[in-house]
Structure 1
Amino acid sequence: MNKIKAHEREILYKVVEELTGTSQKGQFRKEIFISSISSRMKKLNLDTLADYLRRVRNDNAEFDYFLSSITIHTTSWFRESPHFDLTIKFVSDYLKNNINKTLRVLVLGCSTGQEVYSLGLCLEKIRCENNLFNYEIHGLDIDSKSIEKAKLALYDESELEQIPEEYSFFININKKSYGDKFSLGKNILDRCRFYVGNIKDEFNLGSFTEFQIIFIRNVLIYFDPDKCSQIIDHILKFLTINGLLVLGHSESLSIIPPELTQYGPSCYKKTNKKNTDISKRAYFAPRTIQKKHLLIIDTLPTIKAPLKALFEKNGYTVDSADILSDATKNIANQHYDLITLCLNLTAEKEIAWIKQQCGKNNLKIPIIILSESDAHEATSVFDALASGAQIYFTKDIVFSSPNEIIEAANSLTKEKLPAHLNFPSALSKPHLKHISPKLIIIGASTGGPNAIWRLLRNMPQICPPILIVQHMQASFLAEFAKTVSEISNLKLGSSKNFEKLENNHIYLAHDDYHIEVKKKDGALVLHHSTAEPLNRHRPSIDKLFLSVADLKIPAIAILLTGMGRDGAYGLLKLSQTGLAYTLAESEQSCMLYGMSKEAIEIGAVSYVGTIDELRDQLDICLRLKYSNNIASAQ
């Protein structure tokens, strides 16, 4: 037996809710622990859930095991790294008036300690630069097993890649004592304390009642909105006036109370104002949000019907129009969040309609283009994008990868943060003067064509070779390469294998193969590879980025919009060479904030900005390179 039955599952979900406070209803429900408990019952030779829960109730060790099984332990070093940059900025400002005071930090849901010790590394570096500064970090988690690991402070060497090089001085690697693990310096360990506790309860930390910084990230997503608001109310009691509250990127407050002001994305400073209106203490909007409204423009039911069914299944209200004149009337009379437009035959009418709506009529509704995958469709697709559409998919994706189009739609209709609350200044590294790039390498996926055109429009004729990997079907790549060449005013380099890379040229894969950079007879050359797809892609951004990282040459590497994580690891390896300036497109600018987000979170990025800001960085680097070359010649 040992299999948990349907009615037992409901009992188990209820037990989990009671113990942790996390919601186990609807989309909050987490199935993952069901199999874990089933396996545990089998190991203990217990046939029913009632037998197992009786064991949990009477055995403290089994209770600890059970609690560990039903809680989430996902964590990493410098996760959502922009928050650490904002924290460093906050502490720098704090020190101006509080140099002799001990800074106290509280980390709720600290898991196995990586988040606490990441903050420890940041604060210890500041302490070494300011002798009068001192700090304490307190971590709290419901799982006693995680707290034991946090106190032990021994981590696998593989995790070192997540820690920026600037903190290596504070890492303790001792093969004799730790084997293939590492720890932290004594000064950090002495200042970090850990407690077992549940944030759903009115927890207390003994004599520690005030904290200047409180981190509670990627925890509230497991609670319903009402409970989230209660938790925020409770932890605000521990936060000092002008203190910093840091939530996870996906946990921003829907309603910011008078006690708080926005400090950055999902970061808030506490004011001395009070919120006495109890009715306005719901800081998180209910997850049952208003449905988004989609307009499908297509004459063919073979695509329209499954597309309609797909979006309705994912919570959209869907209207359709067979002809463009009907679509125009719909837009005039209804509010739409998104439009899908299928290109047919020559697509002249559709492109003219997009130009009319996005130009003269100033249409602000995002448009997704759907087309066939034949090479002759490429020109029409790129014309549609240039006329005002945001992204495109081939029609077969409705059947082969429906989640991709839904993820893109959700991203396009998501409310973006204001530009001033993004990270470009916090993640800008002052090492431009040292960059004299031999290459510019760029990676993009969904939404990439528009981003690349804007980034490279009218490039100066003083630039090194530019290599681009854009995820798209192979039949469109050659036409896309031509558009980039025309818009950038750079020559389109030969796609031949082992072609020497030349200045003022751009290079792209023209078919189903990876492109890499190699050295041959002292020159940099283009190399093709038909190796297996990497991160599900060929060409792969990581493949290009890693090949340049292996060469250890000065380069500018830019990761733009797109789903998934292709390019993030390669960007990290480039950053670790110390020779590359690594840039990523910001959430505010991205059509799809996936690849660049991953790169930011693993600490691979030197600078984050909108497309226009990234272009400014390119121009600065190229002017510096040009100036340095003139100086060298003289």
Structure 2
Amino acid sequence: MPRMDGLTFLRKIMQQHPLPVVICSSLVGKGSETLSKAIEYGATEIIAKPQSGTQLFLQESRITIIDAVKAASLVKPKKLVAARLVPSKKQNADVMLAKPLGSAMSETTERIVVVGASTGGTEALTRFLQALPNNCPGVVIVQHMPEGFTRSFAERLDGLCAVSVKEARNGDSILRGHVLIAPGNHHLMCKRSGARYFVEIKQGPLVSRHRPSVDVLFRSAAKYAGKNVLGIILTGMGDDGAKGMKEMHDAGALTIAQDEATSVVFGMPNEAIKAGGVDKILPLDQIAGQLIR
């Protein structure tokens, strides 16, 4: 692109002839500006540009790119008028932690919130988190996003929301008024020690075709928080999170799925609904209110 960089091209095409656009970038060093502008201009997906490396790395990059293109094919983009606020074998969460057996410890009454999102999730999460007060229960999020972009995404949200938002680090406590976002290319699990909830960051294989995986987060919440957790699944392609949400539901958690009308892609919420793990189906703008109630 000798006369125009990728972000300028994205802005122009979304103004003149909106199309689903997947940004494939190596500019992780400049992630904050690149990510913010790509989201603002309406990119459907943002993935890290594959590099030469191990066979496993290349296989996983292939899966990521194919899934991103498939997801983009289902999106109906809107015309950009102004800036918006905004391995081949499929593995399940068994590879990261065992299924919950019985009910989780319930000595504490402290609540936590776990959220999963993918395609369209960057804007959905922005709107959801902006509606939360600064004393809301602690929130833990898995958004399918490549390594190098999650920190700048969290920093962007931190500047837009009343709650404090950061990329999660291993051992971070889950606290009221704070939001932790899983770092790209790492699984995130909720754990508990006494009355304290905290997160554990781990490597591992792709689960439900993703790392981080919503299923891993949701299973850990079912296992260690049980009825003290509220689970939310937002827009996204595929079925990551469906099994984990059913496990949370069976453990006594309240579970919410974003409705079809407000989802960019109704894949993940729909699969969770079909699996029988969803208590409420709500438009995006009503989910924060339900959480607060």
- 1:391 counterpart (39, 44, 53): 44
CA RMSD in angstroms, aligned pairs only: 2.8
Matching residue of 1:568:
242
Matching residue of 1:527:
200
CA contact (8 A) 2:140 2:179 kept: yes
Alignment of 1:186-585 (within 5 A): 299=1, 343-344=5-6, 347=7, 349-350=8-9, 353=12, 357=15, 365-375=18-28, 376-387=30-41, 389-394=42-47, 396=49, 400-401=62-63, 403-413=66-76, 438-492=111-165, 495-551=168-224, 552-578=226-252, 580-585=253-258
Matching residue of 2:272:
599
For each residue in 1:367-403, what CA deviation from the matched residue of structure 2 results, as whole angstroms up to 9, or x when unmatched? 424241331245223223224x151233858x93564
CA contact (8 A) 2:187 2:203 kept: yes
Alignment of 1:154-193 (within 5 A): none
Structure 2 CA distance for partners of 1:539 and 1:405, relative to 1, 3 Å? closer
Cα distance in 2 for residues equivalent to 1:406 and 1:369: 7
CA contact (8 A) 2:167 2:182 kept: no
Cα distance in 1 for residues equivalent to 2:169 and 2:21: 34
Cα distance in 2 for residues equivalent to 1:395 and 1:526: 25
Helix, strand or coil at the partner of 1:474: coil
Helix, strand or coil at the partner of 1:412: coil
Structure 2 CA distance for partners of 1:393 and 1:533, relative to 1, 3 Å? same
CA contact (8 A) 2:234 2:268 kept: yes
Unaligned runs of 5+ in 1: 1-298, 301-321, 324-342, 358-362, 415-435, 622-634
Structure 2 CA distance for partners of 1:354 and 1:384, relative to 1, 3 Å? farther
Q: 1:446: how far off?
A: 1.8
Matching residue of 1:30:
none
Structure 2 CA distance for partners of 1:486 and 1:598, relative to 1, 3 Å? same
Helix, strand or coil at the partner of 1:592: coil
- Mean Cα deviation higher: 542-551 or 520-529: 520-529
Helix, strand or coil at the partner of 1:539: coil
Helix, strand or coil at the partner of 1:467: strand
Helix, strand or coil at the partner of 2:249: helix
- 1:612 counterpart (281, 285, 288): 285
Cα distance in 2 for residues equivalent to 1:505 and 1:496: 13
Cα distance in 1 for residues equivalent to 2:137 and 2:166: 12
CA contact (8 A) 1:563 1:593 kept: yes
Q: Which amino acid aligns with 1:370?
A: I
Cα distance in 1 for residues equivalent to 2:197 and 2:157: 22
Q: 1:461: how far off?
A: 1.8
Cα distance in 2 for residues equivalent to 1:464 and 1:615: 11
Structure 2 CA distance for partners of 1:612 and 1:354, relative to 1, 3 Å? farther
Paired-residue identity, %: 27
Q: Could you say which structure has the higher helix fraction? A: 1
CA contact (8 A) 2:187 2:211 kept: yes
Normalising by structure 2, we get a TM-score of 0.74
CA contact (8 A) 2:219 2:248 kept: yes
Structure 2 CA distance for partners of 1:381 and 1:603, relative to 1, 3 Å? same
Helix, strand or coil at the partner of 2:260: coil
Structure 2 CA distance for partners of 1:460 and 1:407, relative to 1, 3 Å? same
Q: Which amino acid aligns with 1:384?
A: A
CA contact (8 A) 2:23 2:43 kept: no
Cα distance in 2 for residues equivalent to 1:367 and 1:451: 17
Q: 1:404: how far off?
A: 2.8
Cα distance in 1 for residues equivalent to 2:32 and 2:285: 26
Select the structure with the greater relative contact order (CA < 8 A; seq sep ≥ 6): 2
CA contact (8 A) 2:141 2:179 kept: yes
Q: 1:405: how far off?
A: 4.3
Matching residue of 2:97:
none
Cα distance in 2 for residues equivalent to 1:364 and 1:557: 37
Cα distance in 1 for residues equivalent to 2:214 and 2:249: 15
Q: Which amino acid aligns with 1:408?
A: A
Cα distance in 2 for residues equivalent to 1:392 and 1:437: 35
CA contact (8 A) 1:458 1:487 kept: no
Structure 2 CA distance for partners of 1:369 and 1:596, relative to 1, 3 Å? same
Structure 2 CA distance for partners of 1:351 and 1:407, relative to 1, 3 Å? closer
Structure 2 CA distance for partners of 1:409 and 1:509, relative to 1, 3 Å? closer
- Mean Cα deviation higher: 486-495 or 497-506: 486-495
Structure 2 CA distance for partners of 1:405 and 1:530, relative to 1, 3 Å? closer
CA contact (8 A) 2:48 2:146 kept: no
User: After the TM superposition, which segments of 4 or more aligned residues of structure 1 sit over 6 Å from their partners?
Assistant: none
For each residue in 1:204-227, what CA deviation from the matched residue of structure 2 results, as whole angstroms up to 9, or x when unmatched? xxxxxxxxxxxxxxxxxxxxxxxx
Cα distance in 2 for residues equivalent to 1:351 and 1:549: 40
Cα distance in 2 for residues equivalent to 1:595 and 1:383: 26
CA contact (8 A) 1:467 1:506 kept: yes
CA contact (8 A) 1:354 1:384 kept: no
For each residue in 1:429-482, what CA deviation from the matched residue of structure 2 results, as whole angstroms up to 9, or x when unmatched? xxxxxxx86111110112211111111114212201110001111111111111
For each residue in 1:28-68, what CA deviation from the matched residue of structure 2 results, as whole angstroms up to 9, or x when unmatched? xxxxxxxxxxxxxxxxxxxxxxxxxxxxxxxxxxxxxxxxx
Helix, strand or coil at the partner of 1:452: helix
Cα distance in 2 for residues equivalent to 1:476 and 1:494: 10
CA contact (8 A) 2:121 2:143 kept: yes
Structure 2 CA distance for partners of 1:364 and 1:487, relative to 1, 3 Å? farther
CA contact (8 A) 2:46 2:146 kept: no
Structure 2 CA distance for partners of 1:449 and 1:570, relative to 1, 3 Å? same
